[in-house]
Amino acid sequence: MSMDQLRWRPTVNERDFIERALQSDLRVDGRNSFDFRTLKITLGREDGTSEVQLGETRVMAYVTAQLVQPYRDRPNEGTLAIFTEFSPMADPAFEAGHPGESAIELGQSPDSCFCNLSIQRCVSMEPNVDCLRFSPLRESRAVDMESLCVVAGKQVWSVRVDLHILDNGGNLIDAANIAALAALSTFRRPECTVGGDDGQQVIVHDPEVRDPIPLTIHHMPIAVTFAYFGEGNIVVLDPTYKEEAVMGGRMTATINSNGDVCAIQKAGGEGVMSGVIMQCLRIASVKAADITSKIKKAVDSYTTEKDLKKVKRLPVSVPQKIHVTDVTMENKGDGELETQTQTAKTPSNVQQISKDPAPMVEASSEEDAQPVTDSSNAEAKSTSNPHGANGESDEAQEIGSPKSLKDAIKPKHKRKKKSGRS
């Protein structure tokens, strides 16, 4: 049985209910005719991985690259291949074996968003995998293929995008397109250099040695799918799984944020007037700009978070105790100065030393007063007590309390000698 035969088919009452609701400008999930379902873009920890959830539809993308020989007609360009895997876990209609027509259409649609390509079938040993190899007949040139060339005619990068359908809730084309764009935007290929004796040896550097290089993406072509009902007069955007079972036709328009039409694909079904197509293109242009901004926002936040992880943060500095030797001067009884060393270990010791500044002041006063005492001996003799009877008491009073500033700065032992001479 083919995939189309295993697909869920609505009953007559269900079909009639959906069509009547659409005629009244109503949809089963409560949306308007030209509203997208809730879009959630999740980027993985590794570069080139993404998961997109569009309503109940979930698609995961994974990007890899390897060095291969280029095509003969395009020796200076790399290649881009998209592989779509349909798992029965996502939809019972995805049976094991050779993919059906719907699977081939889905596998071709994401790549038509990047370039207009001719399809070459390739043999795959894995079931449920639609392998599509594309020869480069680029039109939209979303991905710069010339930047993937390493040695012209010998070595180019071949980029492979693997799309895994996790859950089919309708409109797989748009979800797969967004997942592929998000994965390609975060993908980094290893940097390589050409060397050797002949200048043709390719050296692929480890990501830890040299930072990987991102792909050059000129613009983001966004796929916007419309479903037609009746005779093509009723048009809705982003059809659900049940609406796809009832629709009479479908058209996918691929437009970038600048309004450039990259591709239009309509796989059979009811005919559509040109005026309706032009209306769909105008709506698709607005939706493409909105989805592009969401993809860029998710990629920017992913890049910022990754750059912050690369920043090397220094450890917090811990204050250390520094032992400083303090020198203090103390005055002895005979006028000599004694030097004492003391190590400040704690703040309390520092406070104790700062409370005793008197010896330092006394020593400095002695040095300043040394030349003055010699010149003032005569004046000091004339200031002796004229009363002879009270000589001893006057001498004690003179020693105890100096009468002038010059006497105050003299040491006590010099005062005694002067009093004895007089």
pLDDT, tens only, 383-416 = 444 444 444 445 445 455 555 555 555 565 655 5
pLDDT score of 309 more than 70: yes
250 Cβ partners below 8 Å, 6+ apart? 225, 226, 227, 228, 239, 244, 266, 267, 269
Residue 210 tokens read as: 């040299």
Residue type, 1: M
Residues of the chain by 3-state class (helix, strand, coil), percent to 5: 35, 30, 40
Whether 224 and 145 have beta carbons less than 8 Å apart is answered as no
Q: How confident is the model at residue 96 (pLDDT cuts 50, 70, 90)?
A: low
DSSP string for 30-73: S--TT-PPPEEEEE-SSTTEEEEEETTEEEEEEEEEEEEPPBTT
Specify the pLDDT at position 325. 63
Contacts (Cβ under 8 Å, ≥6 apart) of 236: 22, 27, 33, 34, 226, 227, 229, 243
Structural domain spans, the chain: 2-186, 312-421
More confident call, 127 vs 152: 152
CB 177 within 8 A of CB 253: no
Q: Is the pLDDT of residue 116 over 90?
A: no
Provide the token pair at 257: 């944020």
Please give the Cα distance from 32 to 36 (Å, whole number): 9
CA atoms within 13 A of residue 412's CA, in its CB half-sphere: 11
Give domain 2-186's CATH number out of 3.30.230.70, 3.20.20.60, 3.30.390.30, 3.40.50.150. 3.30.230.70
Structure tokens at 98: 């050779």
Task: Give 289's Cβ-side CA count (13 Å radius).
Answer: 9
Q: How far is Cα 117 from Cα 131, in angstroms, rounded to an integer?
A: 14
The pTM of this model reads: 0.68
Q: What is the pLDDT of residue 197?
A: 76
Query: Is pLDDT at 196 greater than 70 in this prediction?
Result: yes
Residue 185 has pLDDT above 50, yes or no: yes
The model's pLDDT over 132-153, given as tens digits with 9 standing for 90+, comes to 333 223 456 789 999 999 999 8
Residue 212 CA to residue 175 CA, distance in Å, equals 27
Which of 106-115, 307-316, 388-397, 407-416 shows the lowest mean pLDDT across its residues? 388-397
Q: Is 258 helix (H, G, I), strand (E, B) or coil?
A: coil
